[in-house]
Structure 1
Amino acid sequence: GIHFILSEGDCDSSLLFMRIITWNINGIRTIPKYHPWNAMKTHEDVLNHLGADIICFQEMKSSRSALPKATALPPSYHSFFSFPTHKTGYSGVGVYTRPTPLSADDRLSSTRDVDPTSAPLDVDAQVLDSEGRTLILDFGLFVLVNVYCPSDSASQADPERDAERFRFKMAFHQLLKERVRQLVHLQGREVVVVGDLNACADVIDHAEGALIEARGEGGFWEYEPRKWLRDWLVDSSLAVGGGCLVDVVRKFWPERKAMYTCWNTKMSARASNYGSRIDYILVTPGLLPWIKAADIQPDVKGSDHCPVYIDLHDQITLESGVFVKLADVLGNPEPGAEPPRLAAKFWEEHRQRGVDTFFGKAGTKQVVALKKDSPVAEMKAPSASPPEDIAKRERDILQSSSSSSSCLPIAAKSPSPASTAKRKRNGPTPSSSSSKRPKNGQPTLASFFGSKSASASQSSVTHSSESTIDSDYQLAVALSAAESVPSSSPPNPHTARAWTTILAPLEPPRCSVHDEPAKVMTVNKPGPNRGKTFFVCSRPVGPGYDRGRAERLREEVDPRWKCDFFRWAADVRAEMVRKEKDK
């Protein structure tokens, strides 16, 4: 049933409401890494803390097989998921709901009632449904569409793939719009569309919106996904496509600027609120009397997006004077009603089974018939080598390494009967010589020592390859027992100073515009520069920050924000060494 929320500190039942929340979580496994979620014991605790009756997630980045049972089946909620059919750990949407839906679907191209593919598409509808981007749940009062629209992901590294993904994105938008149109106009249903639409509805929904619009030549609306979303909205002053949905959050906050829901966390853009509003809750006009409040939750961490919510009155009076309770018109009114078959509770892997179902009749008899004198009962765990054996082994290594004439192989300890039995059960085990011998061309630790004694030690370790003791470990024990030989030449002060410079921590350079210490960052992108460090301006990004002459007109640059300073840490280190050398 519906779990109505009562405003904190209020006792008036008229202040009861039901909440619907949408959140791009950027991976179901990332939430527990953030506060306050990391202090919660179960996934249901996380859901309860969000304080909503219907919770819609996008970018689950999981799969049906990888989803833990506690995440898939929280006791107080019905759960529904849609995952990609091919690629795992990508996309995916989920809905957790207390009210029981009447039906559920995970396809935009469903032909259950009508064919929503009447409009021509550039991409096959089944392909559009293959990435786990949609869940459609019928709650009686309205049809809920939880959607994760594709991003264009323009990488500029593969223009052909970028163009293909953009065609996919626009075809998906077209199919989504057509499905909603048919729900509204052909079936007469009220609709709630929630999720990450990966598009901005207006200029003020983008941190760079004003700058983009000022450039002219189509400006902000030249980007097709923005035009698509603008024309989908019924109350947009610029709409030209006969929209049928209302941007609820913007309706409650018509003049509010910087109401962003997504930030580039790699640039620390959230701290300066340099982002965009691409997460929405859109409703048909007939549902507006039910909407009590709508807003974003930018203080909720755990993703590069923040949650968006609407609150519904628990009861309203229609224009006709009829009094209606939300509980009477939302979801399946029958107590204990089963959810649709798409629910995760019907997944085969989560059904409870008795232990006897895993054994046939013969297998069960065999298990019961096991006696104490059976081979399985007599098997014991292999015993570990006693400490005195380890000490003796180390003494043998030291004695062999101190001998200058010859080094004999160290005999391997005879396996105990228990360990022999274990190898027979598990099949043949590779000999220690094959597992410890380095690959062709792969140097061992001994190869880095060039002295005569080190060479002898290396020879000793090489000849003892049949031993179960690692060769590098033998050398380490031998070297630790050897007396250090004093150097015959005095230390070079210039060499010492050079090493001090090389090993000293880098002093951050100062950026060229603000003359402030730069901050160090590391390349995480796969490629030849992965793992390298570099310095950039430490100021936060903001509207008009300097992205370089190739991407930012000089007249658009706002010096209050991050400049385009960049230096590799290796170049900074080399400059330090040169300066020290010139002294």
Structure 2
Amino acid sequence: MFNIVTWNINGIRSSQQNLKDLFDSLGADIICLQETKITRDMLDETTALVDGYSSFYSFSRKRSGYSGVATYCKNSCYPFQAEEGLAGTFNAHDDKIDFYDNVHSSFTDEGLRALDAEGRCVITLHKFKEEETLLSLVVVNVYCPNAGENDERLPYKLEFYRALNLRCNDLLSQGYSVIVLGDMNVSHRLIDHCEPEDVTNFSKSPSRVWLDGFLYEGGGKFVDSFRYLYPTKEKAFTCWNTKLNARVNNYGTRIDYIIISNELTHALQDCIIMSDVHGSDHCPVKSSIALELIPSTKLPALCTKYFKEFSGKQLKMSTFVCKRTLTSVEQSNEIEKESEGSEPKKMRLSMKTTKQQQSSLLNYFSMGTTNSVKESVSNSNLSCDTSKLKESSKNSENSKSVLGTTNSFSSASAVWKSVFKGPPPPPLCNGHQEVCVLRTVKKKGPNMNRQFWACSRATGHSSDANAQCNFFVWASAKR
């Protein structure tokens, strides 16, 4: 038995928990993460080298802090081979799985590079025993592109799906068992969505049509492990809109999958959605599979353990700026230089003495302040008697001037308050008569970055009276 987990972590550096403790709490032998949001220069040692695990990364080569996937394997599940990308475009080493015939023949070189350039796939090859026969298992960790039905990224998303299908078929043709898991960015059936807008055309979207054809029920060679075990389970969601606090009412979608090739269904024991695990807008999904994995005796070249910056082969910037202790040879050289002539030493001593004797600018000001204080004290003693005579005559005049000044300030303040009334108070929503919250439109279009008022409650199903009501008003509208 081994456990495998997929989790869109939404930024691996945003995790507040120690990675080893986090991984151990998941109870998995292989952990596949998506949306790590780091490039290689951002990867630090504590993230790359987690005690008890080996890690394999694919980074985005187009944007920093974007996309990215990583596969962590326990030491008991060392893979035999590993590579990044669906097409192997950036695999410089020879230790790769290979078999890209259909993929390479179906795309141009430019198209292949575009598929792999966003860091959306890591593939690892493992071995398992079945009736004393050693067989191969390939784990394909993917973060599929996100795109709406009319989005300009939709063609790229569909090309990625097509390449994924071709590569998996190439691997199956070699006799390998295959597990495809990750954020597929598509909810398959109506049961996998909290409340779709267009129910009539839901199944006709290009992404769902592709997933239908990829799965066994639509003529493909793979099985959705969760729906295979729980075909009618409702509200089994893996992703929620955290900005709308949608997780409170479980108002989400199921877009994270563990999909296995058909011949592995006999070994599938369970598949659970770990909705109690927080830290991202997604939750982990874990499958238990009755296979005995055999660890490799040597890690593949893609492993972060072999990165120059973590293997001691590449000097870090800290080695150039840290304090260094002189060796005995260097110390003797310094002594010889001193003994060659006494003049430089004398000059240094005289300079040091001069430096000590010279007053700082701060001392100059402090001395000046002290002298001025002394002067003012002596002058005040001389004029003390005359000031007392004048004091009583000025008291009445001062009180009048202060009173006049106060009145002028109060009248000016009233004028300014009449001009600047400040922002109006937030409106109350119609459904609950509660104070609304201010939100900003993020979707591209004529209203992008425009602000509006909405109900402050967590979003939920339209039939849920305790969920957010449909109150909406533009912040710029007069009230």
Work out whether the TM-score is over 0.5.
yes
Partners of 2:445 and 2:157 in 1: how far apart? 27
Distance apart, 1:152 and its partner CA: 1.0
Distance apart, 1:505 and its partner CA: 9.1
For residues 386-431 of structure 1, the C-alpha deviation after alignment (integer angstroms, 9 at most, x for no partner) is: 89649739959x99xxxxxxxxxxxxxxxxxxxxxxxxxxxxxxxx
1:229 to 211, 214, 221: 211
Q: Give 1 or 2 for the bigger CA radius of gyration.
A: 2
Task: Identify the residue that residue 190 of structure 1 maps to in structure 2.
Answer: 177
Q: Does 1:392 align with 2:348?
A: no
Task: Identify the residue that residue 103 of structure 2 maps to in structure 1.
Answer: 117
Task: Identify the residue that residue 383 of structure 2 maps to in structure 1.
Answer: none
What 5-or-longer segments of structure 1 have no aligned partner?
1-16, 314-325, 400-483, 546-556, 576-583
Q: Secondary structure at the match of 1:140?
A: strand
Q: Does 1:562 align with 2:469?
A: yes
Task: Identify which of structures 1 and 2 has the higher relative contact order when contacts are C-alpha pairs closer than 8 Å and 6+ apart.
Answer: 2
Partners of 1:231 and 1:130 in 2: how far apart? 26
Name the one with the larger strand percent: 2
Cα gap change, 1:285 to 1:354, in 2 (>3 Å) = closer
Q: Does 1:150 align with 2:145?
A: yes
Partners of 2:274 and 2:125 in 1: how far apart? 26
Partners of 1:24 and 1:394 in 2: how far apart? 66
Partners of 2:280 and 2:55 in 1: how far apart? 21
Distance apart, 1:534 and its partner CA: 5.1
Task: Identify the residue that residue 178 of structure 1 maps to in structure 2.
Answer: 166
Distance apart, 1:288 and its partner CA: 1.9
Partners of 2:314 and 2:282 in 1: how far apart? 43
Same amino acid, percent of matched pairs: 34
Partners of 1:571 and 1:366 in 2: how far apart? 80
Partners of 1:58 and 1:368 in 2: how far apart? 54
Distance apart, 1:354 and its partner CA: 10
Distance apart, 1:153 and its partner CA: 5.7
Tell me if the contact between 2:451 and 2:474 (Cα under 8 Å) persists in the aligned partners. Answer: no
Distance apart, 1:283 and its partner CA: 0.4
2:33 to 17, 40, 57: 57
Q: Secondary structure at the match of 2:405?
A: coil
Partners of 2:440 and 2:331 in 1: how far apart? 60
Q: Secondary structure at the match of 2:179?
A: strand
Tell me if the contact between 1:524 and 1:530 (Cα under 8 Å) persists in the aligned partners. Answer: yes
The AA in structure 1 aligned to 2:436 is A
Tell me if the contact between 1:121 and 1:171 (Cα under 8 Å) persists in the aligned partners. Answer: no
1:274-313 alignment, distance < 5 Å: 274-313=251-290
Partners of 2:222 and 2:295 in 1: how far apart? 22
Partners of 2:86 and 2:286 in 1: how far apart? 23
Tell me if the contact between 1:44 and 1:71 (Cα under 8 Å) persists in the aligned partners. Answer: no
Task: Identify the residue that residue 516 of structure 1 maps to in structure 2.
Answer: 434
Q: Does 1:102 align with 2:80?
A: yes
Tell me if the contact between 1:21 and 1:308 (Cα under 8 Å) persists in the aligned partners. Answer: yes
Tell me if the contact between 1:512 and 1:565 (Cα under 8 Å) persists in the aligned partners. Answer: no
Partners of 1:392 and 1:187 in 2: how far apart? 86
The count of corresponding residues between Structure 1 and Structure 2 is 410
Distance apart, 1:530 and its partner CA: 10
Q: Secondary structure at the match of 1:225?
A: helix
What 5-or-longer segments of structure 2 have no aligned partner?
89-96, 129-136, 321-325, 339-343, 374-400
Partners of 2:162 and 2:155 in 1: how far apart? 11
The AA in structure 1 aligned to 2:195 is E
1:5-404 alignment, distance < 5 Å: 17-32=1-16, 37=17, 42-98=18-74, 99-110=77-88, 112-117=98-103, 120-121=106-107, 124-141=111-128, 142-152=137-147, 162-163=151-152, 165-184=153-172, 186-209=173-196, 211-213=197-199, 216=200, 219-234=201-216, 236=217, 239=218, 242-313=219-290, 326-327=291-292, 329-332=293-296, 337-352=297-312, 367=330, 371=334, 389=363, 392=366, 395=369
The AA in structure 2 aligned to 1:18 is F
Partners of 1:50 and 1:300 in 2: how far apart? 9
The AA in structure 1 aligned to 2:13 is R
1:452-491 alignment, distance < 5 Å: 488=405, 490=407, 491=409
Cα gap change, 1:47 to 1:559, in 2 (>3 Å) = closer
| Range with bigger deviation, 276-285 or 363-372 | 363-372
Partners of 1:571 and 1:523 in 2: how far apart? 15
Cα gap change, 1:46 to 1:500, in 2 (>3 Å) = farther
Tell me if the contact between 1:138 and 1:331 (Cα under 8 Å) persists in the aligned partners. Answer: no
TM-score by length of 2: 0.73
The AA in structure 2 aligned to 1:113 is F
Cα gap change, 1:221 to 1:105, in 2 (>3 Å) = same
The AA in structure 2 aligned to 1:166 is L
Partners of 1:198 and 1:70 in 2: how far apart? 29
Partners of 1:124 and 1:92 in 2: how far apart? 19
Partners of 1:289 and 1:393 in 2: how far apart? 91
Cα gap change, 1:273 to 1:121, in 2 (>3 Å) = farther
Tell me if the contact between 1:537 and 1:566 (Cα under 8 Å) persists in the aligned partners. Answer: no
The AA in structure 2 aligned to 1:562 is C
Distance apart, 1:350 and its partner CA: 1.0
Distance apart, 1:515 and its partner CA: 3.0
Partners of 1:560 and 1:151 in 2: how far apart? 27
TM-score by length of 1: 0.61
CA RMSD of aligned residues (A): 4.2
For residues 422-447 of structure 1, the C-alpha deviation after alignment (integer angstroms, 9 at most, x for no partner) is: xxxxxxxxxxxxxxxxxxxxxxxxxx
